Structure 1
Amino acid sequence: MSVKAGDVFKYERRFTEEEVFEFANITGDKGRHHVEYDENGRLMVHGLLTASIGTKVGEELHYIARELVSEFIRPVFTGDTITCELTITNVEQMEGYKKVSIESVYRNQHEKTVLVGTSYGIIRG
C-alpha cells in the first residue's frame, strides 16, 4: 500500500470489562482504578490499552514503530467508544524502506480528546 503525508486512518473501539481485567493480568498493572468499579459501575481502561487502538495501522501499512510518545489527557472507561485518528505527517523514502511519522488523536463518544501522540517508524520496501 502506498502512503503519503496527509493520509488519515481512523479506527474505533469499545473496551469491555473482560479486556481490562485480561490486560491487568497480562501486564501486572492491577491498580485499584483499573480493577475496582467506580460509582457508575465502570472500570478505568489502562492508558496503554487505549493507545493500542492505533497499532492497527501496523497491520494495514506493515508499519514498524520505533518510537511512540503518548499524552494521556482524560480517563477512558469501559463502555466508552474511542475513535483513533492517525495522520501521516511525513514520509521519507530511504534505500529499501520508508521513514514514516504519524500524529494521533483519540476521542471519546462525546468528542473529547482523551489521548494524543506521535510515532516514528518504518515501512519496508
Structure 2
Amino acid sequence: MKEGAIYTWERSFTNEEVLEFGRVSGDQGRHHVEPDEKGRLMVQGLLTATIGTKIGGDLNYIAREMISEFIRPVFTGDIITCEVVINKVIQMEGFKKIKMETIYRNQHGKEVLTGSSHGIVRDE
C-alpha cells in the first residue's frame, strides 16, 4: 500500500437488501420500505457506504474515523462505484497510519457520497 494508490469496487443493491439492512439497522424510514413509482427503494446512506468498507476489508484497514457527506440519493438498481485514494501512509512500529478519501458515483457519473477516513493497517 502506497500513497496515491487507487482502489475501486462497484455494485448495486436490491430491494430485499435494503429491507434487510433496515431490519438489522432499525432504519425503517418510509423511503426505505415503500417503493417509489418505479418500484425502487432509496438505499440507506450507510448501506451505500458499505461499498467502501469492502475495500477496507480487502486492505485489512482498521478505521479510526470516517467522515461522510451524502450528496444525492441512491436507489435500488443504481450501479455505484466507490473509488478509494490513499493520501498518506506513515510507517509506525508494527503498523501503518493511513489517510484516505472516497468518492462514490452512480452509473451516470454523478457523485452520491464523498468521504475521508483515517486508521491503521497492522504489519504482517
Question: Structure 2: which amino acid aligns with 1:80?
Answer: D
**Could you tell me which residue of structure 1 aligns to residue 121 of structure 2?**
123
Correspondent of 1:98 among 89, 96, 99: 96
Q: Distance in 2 between matches of 1:56 and 1:100?
A: 16
What secondary structure, in the 3-state scheme, does the structure 2 residue paired with 1:40 have?
coil
Q: What is the TM-score normalised by the length of structure 1?
A: 0.96
Question: Structure 1: which amino acid aligns with 2:42?
Answer: M
**Could you tell me which residue of structure 1 aligns to residue 23 of structure 2?**
25
Question: Structure 1: which amino acid aligns with 2:40?
Answer: R
**Could you tell me which residue of structure 2 aligns to residue 43 of structure 1?**
41
How big is each residue's C-alpha offset from its partner over 1:3-62, in whole Å with a ceiling of 9 and x where there is no partner?
Answer: 111000000010001100000000111000110011221100000000010011222211
What secondary structure, in the 3-state scheme, does the structure 2 residue paired with 1:21 have?
helix
What secondary structure, in the 3-state scheme, does the structure 2 residue paired with 1:103 have?
strand
Following superposition of structure 1 onto structure 2, how do residues 49-68 of structure 1 map, counting pairs within 5 Å? 49-68=47-66
**Could you tell me which residue of structure 2 aligns to residue 111 of structure 1?**
109
Structure 1 gaps, min length 5: none
- Identity over aligned pairs, percent: 64
- CA shift, 1:86, in A, is 0.3
RMSD: 0.6
Between Structure 1 and Structure 2, how many residues are aligned?
123
In the alignment, structure 1 residue 82 sits paired with structure 2 residue 80: yes
Structure 2 gaps, min length 5: none
After the TM superposition, which parts of structure 1 deviate over 4 Å for at least 4 consecutive aligned residues?
A: none
